[in-house]
């Protein structure tokens, strides 16, 4: 960790547009198109697994997952396991939900499951802190900002494209780090 560039961090955190960053119009964002399924390898956001498990995955999502190289992050595994912990044991739907999550996690091939390294984690913490300051995030939104930042920067480092339906948060990340790659889809 001694190699982390605090001078760059200081320069980066001076960024202040004087306003919260607004979500851009859909026309300015990279949305998935059923006519263009081929492309860069993907890193799946947690919402992809959830939408597929809950039957909210649009056809374009299924096409992308079938056509492109799909990669997974331990960030998504962490978020899915958090969901297991949050589920109420006395709810009759819990056993089925845990079973679906278990199948999702076990289906991730080891050679396609990536852990963020110390550089990604530290830069993501910096980026998430900036998001919280610029966007006025509080409470649970702060943790979500950290997880999204880790996934975003992990994909950037690995040369992957994040696949997500989370337009609002990842659009802001793209505005702060335009070299990142994200592909959005709309839930069915």
Domains along the chain? 22-115+161-184 (3.40.50)
User: Are the CB atoms for 71 and 89 separated by under 8 Å?
Assistant: no
Other CB atoms within 10 A of residue 18 CB: 5
At 152 the pLDDT is 96
User: Are the CB atoms for 144 and 46 separated by under 8 Å?
Assistant: no
At 133 the pLDDT is 84
Q: Is-above-0.75 flag for pTM?
A: yes
In the chain, which stretches have pLDDT less than 70? 1-6, 8-19
At 75 the pLDDT is 96
**What is the distance between the alpha carbons of residues 158 and 168, in angstroms, rounded to a whole number?**
23
DSSP states of 73-119: EHHHHHHHHHHHHHS-TTSTTHHHHHHHHHHHHHTS-GGGEE---HH
At 69 the pLDDT is 96
At 137 the pLDDT is 85
At 33 the pLDDT is 86
At 14 the pLDDT is 62
At 94 the pLDDT is 93
At 60 the pLDDT is 93
């Amino acid at each position: 960790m001694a190699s982390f560039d605090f001078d760059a961090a200081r320069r980066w955190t001076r960024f202040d547009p004087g306003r919260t960053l607004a979500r851009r119009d859909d026309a300015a964002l990279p949305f998935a198109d059923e006519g263009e399924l081929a492309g860069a390898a993907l890193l799946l956001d947690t919402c992809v697994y959830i939408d597929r498990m809950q039957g909210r995955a649009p056809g374009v999502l299924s096409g992308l997952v079938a056509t492109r190289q799909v990669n997974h992050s331990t960030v998504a595994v962490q978020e899915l396991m958090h969901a297991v912990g949050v589920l109420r044991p006395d709810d009759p739907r819990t056993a089925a939900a845990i079973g679906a999550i278990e199948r999702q996690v076990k289906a991730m091939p080891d050679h396609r499951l990536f852990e963020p390294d110390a550089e990604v984690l530290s830069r993501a913490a910096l980026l998430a802190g900036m998001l919280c300051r610029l966007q006025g995030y509080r409470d649970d939104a702060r943790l979500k900002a950290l997880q999204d930042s880790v996934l975003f920067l992990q994909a950037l480092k690995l040369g992957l494209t994040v696949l997500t339906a989370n337009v609002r948060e990842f659009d802001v990340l793209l505005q702060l780090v335009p070299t990142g790659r994200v592909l959005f889809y709309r839930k069915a």
